[in-house]
Structures are given as structure tokens and as C-alpha cells.
Amino acid sequence: MLLCEEGYRQAMVGTISLYDRHGERVHTIYVGATPEYGQAAFMERMEREIAHVKHLYPEAVYVGIADGAKSNWEFLEQHTRVQVLDFYHAAEYLADAAQAAYPRSPTKRAEWLETRCYELKHTAGAAALLLEEMEELAQSPLSESLQEKLQRAITYFSNHQHQMEYAHYRAKYFPIGSGVTEAACKTKVLQRLCCSGMRWKEKGASIVLSLRALVLTQIRWDQFWGKIDQYGFPIAA
């Protein structure tokens, strides 16, 4: 988002979702914060929400889902028992490997990608097998650009294959995608704070983000006004 005095800076968004025993999402809490160095305020908000949910549901299984950013895993490892790499980020790297497998045949490339994505999602231990296949592909004569893409995919799978046990996660009815959070980035930030010509001061953007979090999180808008009626604005805020 574009700030008046600092130029473009990165806002933070997180979600905490509750799922039933069949893997259906039943409720989501939205958290957001304006750009800040170190992300301390955002992390504190997330930790407060997580602590509240754990107090309400101490027997739940807590699963963290994110892309490959190291800071995400450092945070999630503190608060979740299972960490899952977003399946669709993994599939994007497989798409790069598919180009290396069939650089001159779009049809075979698409078939290879579809088959490997299915295996990754449904076959136990598929990530390790796909990593071996990509390492074999790296021995083939490839253009410099394709070799670079393939090496990035190999590094990604090597670093995160322990978080790609998708067949196991699905058997447990765990979510495997971070789409809820990706969508929250759009609905909380992009659609409201990143329109053409918009520039924000931190205070105004923070108020808007807080209001949007209240609106998007089911029943919180009514709870907010209920607190105002009972305690007044300073305590509710």
C-alpha cells in the first residue's frame, strides 16, 4: 500500500480458521496491520487471537499453512502442531519443472504437470519422489533460463518436502491451501487501500483495516457495537 511519507510498504494480513471434523471451514477470524518495521504489532495481534482460540478449543489440532517465507514458519512453529506448505505454491514450482521436462511440447508438459500434481496431492511420499525426478532432469541439457527455474524448484522441494505430506493431511481432513489468507489480502487491503490515486497515513489506514476486520469476521461487528453500548468507545476500541 502507498503511504504518504514512506512510499510503497507491505501491509500484513493473517487468518485463523476453524474447521469441523470433516474439513469444512466454519468460521474465520481476520487480522490485519498497517506497514511496520519488524511486524511486532501484527504478530502481537495474531498471538492474542491464537491464545483466545486455544483457550476456547484446547483439544483442537492446530495447523499452520503458509508459503515458503522463513518468517512465516518461524512464527507458525511456535503456535501450531503441524505445518503445511500451501499446495498451490508447490504446484507453481512443479510448473517450472514441467517446462524443463518438456520444453518443446506444451501438450506433454501439461500432461506431466497434471499427473505430478495429482501424485503430490494423493500419494504418500510423493514430494521426495518428485524431488528425485527433478534432480534427474537437472542432468539433461537445458537452456540457462530453464536450468535456473528447475534449480529453484529443486531447492524449494528440498527445503519443504517435510511440509508436503498432502496425502496424510487430506486423510486427517486438514486444509492444504492458504487461499483463505490470500483472499483476505485482497478483501482487507487491495480492494480498499490500494485503489488508483490512494495515499494513506498510518493512523487512517489502521482504522480502515480494523473496521474491515470487524466486518469480515462473522459476528464481530455486532460484538463491537455491543461493547460500545455497554462500556463506551474507549474500552471497545
Residue 167, CA distances (Å) to 29, 82, 126, 210 in order: 27, 14, 9, 37
Domain map (residue ranges) of the chain: 2-85+177-236, 87-169
Provide the grid cell at 149.
Answer: 527455474
Residue 47 has pLDDT above 60, yes or no: yes
Residue 25 has pLDDT above 80, yes or no: yes
> pTM here?
0.87
> What's the pLDDT score for residue 184?
93
- 195-222 pLDDT, tens digit per residue, is 999 999 999 999 999 999 999 998 988 8
